[in-house]
Structure 1
């Protein structure tokens, strides 16, 4: 077989195996210590995949080289949210594979460090070896859950910014987005707040970078509102961080069986946030 054809074929099978486990290209690249662009070149056949690297990919995906190269033997695909698609105010249930679903339950119940792979196996109804067929380790499971949550929050925040006509409206829409996310996705939000410290250093650094990007969306609108005189705060940076922290904390107390709906919470938190930035109606 021609080397270029062979590279494309192997790369395609790597991509198929990765997508079947629900791992993003960026997350796999991070676990391998390479850039997302380099990972993309491997999957498209532009760069040759050595046997050593293929072994590392297989390990990261919780499978074997033989299974990657055998197109008839890959795990069933994960049903993950269609990130970036649809109405940013609309939430479908977070659809995870059986192992990630069990991991979410166990991590919330006993904490990441208090749980074991045997606990996850018992919760999912699978054997320990069956768990590893889906995911390489407990650490990878935590990374994938938090990656899915951060992807979901980021696209919704970006869509909210695009829907606003001016800094005040964009700020209000961002607060609404964050409040809705931390009610509808309270489990993921709680894990992100409580277990981010449990991520491996490289994964934690990647998550920190993405959280900073999300924070800066809010920073930009508060700064613009303050510069225009529509927000009276003299400390826009600190006010912006207070707003984001306040919204994240919703996941710690919100109860869907309680008297407040997600929309109720979002409406109230927009009012709280406007107070924090000292919005003056006469200027708006």
Structure 2
């Protein structure tokens, strides 16, 4: 906890543009002492934490929140912090409006339109109808907004992928359900999916590793089901791993071209992509009566 509080102080101070020397002077400590706190080498009293929060112009709770995304009052009271809201509300095929706070809604629009590096706190605040100081009540930096968007995107997709896979009765059916799930997500959630594909490179190493691990889990689900289907003769692709990667790549590319006002609905698109994927992976074609042509 000492290291986390120190890291939080350092990040809050940096975002506010306050030098270590200036904050140390405000606290009445030496720069060396504050440096030791920020690097987790020494602790800091509750009274001094409150002073840090006042000097940085943030709620005390933010100093106890190294991710800058609001752990809730439990951190200060000693009670367990509440967990994140459920990523999946209802059926994995169901998509309601994307529920984001005003700051994230504006950040998402800006990141998709001009990119993460092309957006600024000022332009995001203007999109949100907030002052810059008002925006800081939501997030400490545009980086925090990027991380929050990617975390929510990956959590949502991961929950849907797990639910879709669980419905399958055999490997080839699970492959079909996974492809349907990926195609639906990348069309219904086109903006956030596009952000996930285009801006992961902007993440710091720790955040990148966390987000990339979720993406690898989703790819691994498809890898495993394709391999299992090939092993029992349901699919015949020569290289199951390459085939699975090709199928997932087809789905993750959807946000680059899909338009909600186009000729295909996400559901129509998902149905087509399931057929494309199964053909690519070597499923025997069907007769008009639904019997596989390799069957007598």
Count of residues in Structure 1 that have an aligned counterpart in Structure 2: 226
Q: Is the 8 A contact 2:61 2:76 kept in 1?
A: no
Classify the secondary structure of the residue corresponding to 1:134: coil
Partners of 1:216 and 1:164 in 2: CA distance: 16
Partners of 1:235 and 1:164 in 2: CA distance: 22
Equivalent position to 1:210, from 211, 214, 225: 214
Counterpart position of 2:189: 185
Q: Does 1:103 align with 2:107?
A: yes
Equivalent position to 1:171, from 165, 171, 175: 175
Deviation at 1:236, TM superposition (A): 0.4
Counterparts of 1:117-196 in structure 2 under 5 Å? 117-196=121-200
Q: Is the 8 A contact 1:59 1:136 kept in 2?
A: no
Q: Is the 8 A contact 2:190 2:255 kept in 1?
A: yes
Deviation at 1:84, TM superposition (A): 2.9
TM-score normalized by structure 1? 0.74
Deviation at 1:248, TM superposition (A): 0.3
TM-score normalized by structure 2? 0.71
Q: Could you say if the C-alpha distance between residues 230 and 116 of structure 1 is closer, same or farther in structure 2, counting changes exceeding 3 Å?
A: same
Counterpart position of 2:16: none
Classify the secondary structure of the residue corresponding to 1:159: helix
Deviation at 1:81, TM superposition (A): 7.0
RMSD between superposed Cα atoms in Å: 2.6
Q: Does 1:247 align with 2:251?
A: yes
Counterparts of 1:1-284 in structure 2 under 5 Å? 51=46, 56-58=63-65, 60-61=67-68, 82-280=86-284, 281-282=292-293
Q: Could you say if the C-alpha distance between residues 244 and 62 of structure 1 is closer, same or farther in structure 2, counting changes exceeding 3 Å?
A: closer
Deviation at 1:59, TM superposition (A): 5.9
Deviation at 1:111, TM superposition (A): 0.4
**Higher relative contact order (CA closer than 8 Å, sequence separation 6+):** 1
Q: Is the 8 A contact 1:61 1:134 kept in 2?
A: no
Q: Is the 8 A contact 1:62 1:133 kept in 2?
A: no
**Uncovered stretches (5+) of structure 1, i.e. residues with no partner:** 1-48, 71-79
